[in-house]
Chain A
Amino acid sequence: MVLSIIQNISIIIAAEVLYHFLSKSFSGKAYLISILNGILFGLTAVLAMMTPFRFESGIIYDGRTIVIGIATLFGGPLTGSMASAIAASYRIFIVGGSGYLAGVLSILEAFVIGAIFNRIRKHSKPSQELLLVIASALLIHIFMLLAQLFLPNERWRLVLPVIAPVVLTIYPIGFILVSALFIEAEKSARVQEKLQESEERYRKIFNNHHTVMLIIDPQSGAVIDANPAAEAYYGYSREALCSMNITDINTLNPEEVKQGMARAKQFRKNAFQFRHRLASGEIRDVEVFSGPIDFSGKEYLYSIVHDISEKMEAERKIAEINENLEKIVAKRTEALEAANRELESFAYSVSHDLRAPLRAIEGFFGFLMQEIAEINPSLSDNARHYQERIRFNITKMNLLIDDLLNLSRIGTQELSLQSVDMSELAREVANELLSENPGRRAAITIDPAMTCIADKALLKVALTNLFSNALKYTSTVIQPSIRFSSMDKDNERVYFIKDNGIGFDMQYAGKLFTPFQKLHSDKRYPGTGIGLSIVRRVISKHGGKIWAEAVPDKGATFYFTLGG
């Protein structure tokens, strides 16, 4: 009996090989496989029944429970039922005999238990697989022994002692061994399937993507593969592309291409700008994203190619437009500067030429008054008043001309920068102003050690105007005080001159630095209205800013920076 069951097991192993062959050949057609395998296992069972251990006529023992159990456990209910039907038919109609009921029941119980475990198996972990196999092997063969109870005439009393030791040892072991083969085969089939799937996915992406993709051998530069998008783009067939080298496409010389590919390999991912030649001879600008990819142990470069010719063309156009724009701006600036220079030189010569007649008026008026005084030493009050008004206006016009000349000169003068002790300069300016206007008394405070980089002569002009204003607009307050100091604001040194004079309404602050704009009456506060324009010119020439804050009757503060 042992020999016969071992023979049966080898038949089953042969069937197992066939089973996998069938599964592979008809992959994708699940029903067909199940049916074909059902027939295969059915025939195997028949084969097993043809070489049985014969207890007596009509009572045979063989490996059918193993065949049906495994067929159902691994092949599923459909395969199992097919195999069972064939095996059962053979047992009833061909073998027949008194043991047919027990024989058919053995087939049935193997099928049922196989089906149950097939089901359990689907929801279990791979680690529990062996346990399930052992359990089903034991159960099937316990039930096989139970099936012997259906032998006529209580033959089981005779049969069981003979077969039980074998059925409960050799049978399950055979079952388990064959099952192990199945499990192994299934496992490797699954791995294979996954591999195929991923390769399939990759191929699908490669082939169906609308992006141009190439696979390149980084050593030789040979094109290994190209997708249909690449075929369409380059105008070569895949076969043609695969016989080309990347240097046939890239316009750079082979050495440069090689360097590029080495870089792509080294840095895993990299974008390059190249020029690629199409089959038509046209040369396009492309951006190539390259990176390494492993294929069966060898490293290749996958390259995704983007046509950026239009983008490049647009960029070139933008650059061209910008360049033109810059040229236009430069031209306009130049024209504007020329006009400005002309205006300034015009202002200069006008004011210069105005001075000659003014001097003549003043000179001859002086001699005239001298003559008159000789004839009539005592002038009338009216005459003296008229004389005074004429003198005043001549002086005023002279100041106006001076300021206009200064203003136009500052515009054209080059800066000569040096380190300036502003505190010292401010003291000098204040002293000069005080000695020029002996009637003015003001408490002037100047912070020490304020230094800056500036054009000293121009800075003096600016400080003179600012101090002169402060003195002028504090002339009517009881205790005039002026302070020159500095502070840090937004990382910039801000200088300020603060007075407690008459101030001004902030509403008019915008007019302060415009030439000839005055915020106070000429009578009380004489001036040309050009002083602050000069100051602003000086400050902006240094790259600085000037602004003012004031409250009427509370004083004004002029702030300035010197840039850089």
Chain B
Amino acid sequence: MNGIGEFQTILLVEDNPDDEELTLLAFKNNHIANSIIVVHDGAEALDFMFRRKAYANRDVRTTPRLVLLDLKLPKLSGFDVLQELRNNDMTRFLPVVILTTSNQDEDIINSYKFGANSFIRKPVEFSKFNEAIKALGMYWLVLNEVPLSTKPSLIKG
């Protein structure tokens, strides 16, 4: 772990309050200590990422290490958000995991086409959901390496 561990933020883009709460519970349940920031639509997600509007003054160190992105979102869809992130040099290599209820081939294909790193269908069963969140945290926050340029400390505001 590097020295800025407490700022290993996860951005959860989720409009359904139940899903939001369950995801947070699952993280807590699996002892994933990272701070999780929740935004509720696509536009808010982009504002947060690029420090605009309500997030203009956010601490640069809270720039997330991982984005969990739902596809069905108000205002801007998950695909719109993904494309914006991939078009920006700052976020080009940021790990984005699609976490959604859809399992349509078309959605999976488009997700990868637009540069998602992973596609996970939210399991209905409690235990499987718990396991999925655990595995996700383990993989993307512990095992996965990202280039330095995407590390929060190096992103200039």
Digitize A370-396: 1 where CB-to-B-CB distance is under 8 Å, 0 elsewhere: 100000000000000000000000110
**Distance to closest chain A CB from B131 (angstroms):** 12
Q: Scoring A residues 403 to 436 as 1 if CB is less than 8 Å from chain B, else 0, what string do you get?
A: 0000001000000000000000000000000000
B124 / chain A contacts, CB cutoff of 8 Å: 355, 358-359, 362, 394-395, 398
Contacts of A359 in B (CB 8 A): 18-19, 22, 101, 122, 124, 129
Contact for A360 among B18, B29, B104, B130, CB less than 8 A:
B18
Task: Decide if A367 is an interface residue (CB 8 Å cutoff).
Answer: yes
From residue 87 to 133 of chain B, which have CB atoms closer than 8 A to chain A?
101-102, 104, 122, 124-127, 129-130
Which chain A residues lie closer than 8 Å to B104 at the CB level?
A: 409
A272 touches B (CB below 8 Å):
no
Q: Contact flags (1/0) for B122-155 with A, using CB distance below 8 Å?
A: 1011110110000000000000000000000000
Bound CA–CA A357/B16 (angstroms): 10
Is A356 in contact with B18, judged by CB distance below 8 angstroms? yes
Q: Which residues of B contact A398 (CB under 8 A)?
A: 124-125
Partner of B127, one of A356, A364, A366: A366
Least Cβ distance of A362 to chain B in Å? 5
Q: Is B33 an interface residue (CB 8 A)?
A: no
Closest to A363 in B: B22
A547 at the interface (CB under 8 A from B): no
Q: Does A55 contact B (CB under 8 A)?
A: no
Which residue from chain B places its CB closest to the CB of A397 in the assembled complex?
B124
Digitize B48-85: 1 where CB-to-A-CB distance is under 8 Å, 0 elsewhere: 00000000000000000000000000000000000000
Q: Place the interface of chain B in its size category.
A: 10 to 19
> Counting chain A CB atoms within 10 Å of each CB, which of B16, B125, B127 scores highest?
B125
B19–A360 contact, CB under 8 A? yes
A201: B residues at CB distance < 8 A: none
Residue contact B126 to A365, C-beta cutoff 8 Å: yes
Residues of B near A155 (CB, < 8 A) are none
Q: Is A352 located at the chain interface by the 8 A CB criterion?
A: yes
| A366 contacts across to B, CB distance below 8 A | 126-127, 129-130
Q: How far is the CB of B104 from chain A (nearest CB, A)?
A: 7
Q: Count A-B contacts at CB 8 Å.
A: 49
How far is A363 from B101 in the complex, measured between Cα atoms in Å? 14
Task: Specify the chain B residue showing the minimal Cβ separation from A367.
Answer: B25
Chain A residues with Cβ below 8 Å from B101 are: 352, 355-356, 359
Interfacial chain A residues near B22, Cβ < 8 Å: 359-360, 363-364, 367
Known A-B contacts A364-B22, A367-B25, A409-B104; A356 and B16 likewise in contact (beta carbons under 8 Å): yes
User: In the docked arrangement, what's the CA distance between A395 and B125, Å?
Assistant: 8
Q: A352-B101, A409-B104 are in contact. Are A362 and B18 (CB under 8 A)?
A: no
List residues of chain B with CB within 8 A of the CB of A356: 16, 18-19, 101
Q: How far apart are the CA atoms of A358 and B101 in the complex, in Å? A: 11
Nearest chain B CB to A27's CB is how many angstroms away? 100
A402-B63 Cα distance, complex, nearest whole Å? 37
- Once the chains are docked, how many angstroms separate the CA of A398 from the CA of B104? 16
Nearest-CB distance from B122 to chain A (Å)? 6
Report the minimum CB–CB distance from B19 to chain A (whole Å).
7
Question: Which residue from A355, A357, A363 sits with its C-beta under 8 Å from B126?
Answer: A363
Closest residue on chain A to residue B72 by CB atoms: A352
In whole angstroms, what is the CA distance A358 to B126 when docked? 11
Question: Once the chains bind, are B129 and A363 in contact (CB under 8 Å)?
Answer: yes
Q: Which residues of chain A (285-329) have a CB below 8 Å from chain B?
A: none
A370: chain B residues at CB < 8 Å are 29
Which B residues are in CB contact (< 8 Å) with A360?
A: 16, 18-19, 22
How far is it, in angstroms, between the C-alpha of A366 and the C-alpha of B128 when the chains are bound?
A: 11
CA distance A145 to B18 in the complex (A): 152
Shortest distance in angstroms between A398's beta carbon and chain B's nearest beta carbon? 5
Q: Kindly state the separation between the CA atoms of A356 and B100 in the bound complex, as whole angstroms.
A: 10
Contact B25 A352 (CB under 8 A): no
Contact check, B25 vs A362: say whether CB atoms are below 8 A apart.
no
Contacts of A395 in B (CB 8 A): 124-125
B14 to chain A, nearest CB (A): 11
Give the residues in chain B near A355, CB-CB below 8 Å.
Answer: 101, 124
A366 to B16, CA, bound (A): 18
Q: How far is the CA of A438 from the CA of B104 in the complex (A)?
A: 29
Per the bound structure, the CA–CA distance linking A366 and B124 in Å amounts to 11
Knowing that A359-B18, A362-B126, A366-B129 touch, tell me 7 more A-B residue pairs with CB under 8 angstroms. Answer: A359-B22, A359-B129, A364-B22, A367-B25, A367-B29, A394-B125, A409-B104
Shortest Cβ-Cβ A-B pairs, 3 listed:
A366-B126, A360-B18, A363-B22
- Pairs across A and B, CB under 8 Å, 9 listed: A352-B101, A358-B124, A359-B124, A363-B129, A364-B18, A367-B22, A367-B29, A394-B124, A398-B124
